[in-house]
A and B are shown apart, each in its own frame.
Chain A
């Protein structure tokens, strides 16, 4: 929740402005303070009755709950939004206004701090949700669809399907083969660097792991931190794991591992951590106590040479100056000399919208909600959003990309060249496995003691997985 912050799964990174953490922390305070007062009985508070029967208990904490929508005005829909930072919030409002202008239907936006929104998503969807809500592709989408908490929108996809590539359709399809999700944008994970710094020092883009290490050594000699790194929020390290696993073991193994079909004790997983261990000396020290924003600052200030992160890192450059943003560039993670290099697979998480099942107003709003989904599937709508927050690129084919900045243009190219796209570790696997007291903690443990007995370490991870399933 807040978190707090707080502390955020990667989705948090997709929206928002710089200094996200600090602001989030303040925002989360009200919620956390309420939660904190009754830790012992928390578990019971919200769960005394089945959620559908007791909507008032659906939001378990005293936190600013995902408020049940009051009856929607006639000829309108309600939208539960986690775009709580100012820039994306304004963009969301602009989209709603454009929709109202076109159709005459009003959109009542119910914005909730995104950490809180994510934490309470189950009770929200099980209680009295809004008609339409913001959410993520991947396991996180399929999970709620499988619980019967989302409304299938195959008919919407029949109309808008041609506007999306196959990868997006796959990312919008639930386990039962129906579509539940409308993507509006995504963003790639890649290695970011400053063009001016590379030019000044005569660095070249590394294409292989050895070149990356050689470049790292050169940067060290130049007094630079080769690779900026911050993992205080727990999720950024997942990006490193994902790309190493994809390059070393391929897309199919990664997906199998996320789904529990492959074991964490597999020797192939061990090689990922061994390779990572070899790269750790090039990483910025003290990562477990540093936020990604602070790590990004090392790149902004030219103290660090490279940074493996999602394109939302551009927010920090944009906040610094337009010139800094123009200086930012990226290259795909180097090849590791395996057959899977050719897949060029990468994390490119998709954000979008779904229609809730339990919305009390859905019966009368369903047509409006579907019209809104169709509206969201238009390139012109998505451009409103990605222009406001240029750390993302529009998902629809008919989006007018002429207004993109060079970074966005390159992102489109990179995502287009990838044969396989993954979402992100915590979007591709069970939330209870990926969470703070789960994979986040395990990866932090590895970063603290990378030389530990990896077999025992992986055994712990597999043991934890086994308790969940």
Chain B
């Protein structure tokens, strides 16, 4: 034993101490990754095949197979609207909020007068938690006391606009509120990227006779490729984890259903349908895996080349 170990040590580039350090450096993160991410994920998937109510142990009689998924896709009236709202959120952010944030960043990058002030103003909502944002906008949208209806003069019987109560309207009202914060977030990310673009590139483009628009789209935007990817990923994550505003406003019902609020209302509310909530969580997980896989494969491919 001692001999073979000694021999191996002779051929190894690493000392025993190095190996120990390496093992710890790899082992501890792997342990936490397994325990805190993969463990709960797998338990969630397993729970989605049960009707466990969160009380007592789980026995064989709790296993219901695919019944949760079946009722989720067929009978449960809130699943499809939640899925639709999540996708709407994603599209709205990708098409409107994120480009708006990038546009503001480009404007502020031009060192216009008072740009610090604008920067602060746009960024201010980002430091607020979405729950606070929801609360602020709730007051704006309130039917009689709210700022918006009072400005529009639509507070009386017959003319009232029920911003948060009308299921065909409230998701848009909430998207505006969520974008209010998201735009500032994207702006700051993008502004940081713009600041790091080598000014020589712009100079060269100007010498070549490019106008501001051409400079941005032909030179700056392609150079910003890594930041662009980060921004797309951030937007997707923000859309999929959308939760706080809808939950604060009405716990995610009446047109504001989201997958995340359905999970919460089913799993950790008094209802305690842990199994059913887990099934919704698994659906959200599968949807989330899409962008994650795309992102990771891109990253790995870039590293490989």
Contact = CB atoms under 8 A, between A and B. Distances in A.
A120 interface: yes
Interface string A30-64: 00110111011111111110111000000011000
A42 B145 CA distance: 36
B78 A441 contact: yes
B265 A288 contact: no
B166 interface: yes
B171 interface: no
B178 interface: no
Interface string B158-169: 101111111100
Nearest to A61: B268
Interface stretch (B124-132, B179-187, B197-205, B213-221): B124-132
A290 B165 contact: yes
A406 to B, nearest CB: 29
Contacts of A288: 162, 164-167, 254
A153 B56 CA distance: 22
B42 to A, nearest CB: 8
Q: Which secondary structure dominates where chain A touches chain B? A: helix
A122 interface: yes
Contacts, number: 246
A289 B141 contact: yes
A3 B251 contact: yes
A441 B162 contact: no
B263 A289 contact: no
B284 A284 contact: no
Contacts of B251: 3-7, 234, 436
Contacts of A7: 250-251
Contact of B54 (A9, A29, A126, A231): A126
Contacts of A161: none
Contacts of B47: 43-44, 47
Nearest to A57: B40
B253 to A, nearest CB: 5
Interface in B258-288: 259-274, 277-278, 280-281, 284-285, 288
B152 interface: no
Interface stretch (B97-105, B106-114, B240-248): B240-248
Interface string A453-466: 00000001001101
Nearest to B68: A467
A121 interface: yes
A250 B155 CA distance: 38
Given A44-B43, A431-B270, A36 B54 contact: no
Contacts of B134: 25
B56 A147 contact: yes
B241 A43 contact: no
A26 interface: yes
B244 A50 contact: no
Contacts of A256: none
A29 B281 contact: no
A48 B40 contact: yes
Contact of B253 (A46, A118, A234, A286): A234
Given A39-B241, A294-B143, A6 B56 contact: no
B235 interface: no
A285 B75 CA distance: 31
A82 B6 CA distance: 66
Contacts of A5: 248, 251
Contact of B268 (A50, A52, A60): A60
A2 B131 CA distance: 10
Contact of A448 (B161, B166, B267, B269): B166
Contacts of B162: 285-286, 288-290
Interface in B25-55: 37, 39-41, 43-44, 47-48, 52-55
B78 A437 contact: yes
A158 to B, nearest CB: 29
A435 interface: yes
Given A25-B138, A294-B142, A289 B267 contact: no
B135 interface: yes
Given A33-B131, A44-B281, A463-B75, A289 B163 contact: yes
26 contacts: A4-B248, A25-B134, A33-B244, A39-B243, A39-B281, A40-B260, A40-B284, A40-B285, A42-B263, A43-B281, A44-B44, A44-B47, A48-B43, A52-B56, A120-B268, A285-B160, A288-B162, A289-B170, A290-B144, A294-B143, A435-B270, A437-B78, A440-B253, A441-B253, A441-B254, A466-B75
Interface of B: 37, 39-41, 43-44, 47-48, 52-58, 71, 75-78, 129-132, 134-135, 138-139, 141-145, 157-158, 160-167, 170, 241, 243-244, 247-248, 250-254, 257, 259-274, 277-278, 280-281, 284-285, 288
Given A36-B247, A125-B55, A436-B269, 19 more contacts: A2-B248, A6-B248, A7-B250, A22-B135, A26-B135, A29-B129, A40-B288, A43-B268, A44-B39, A48-B40, A122-B272, A123-B268, A149-B55, A232-B164, A288-B166, A435-B269, A436-B251, A437-B265, A438-B271
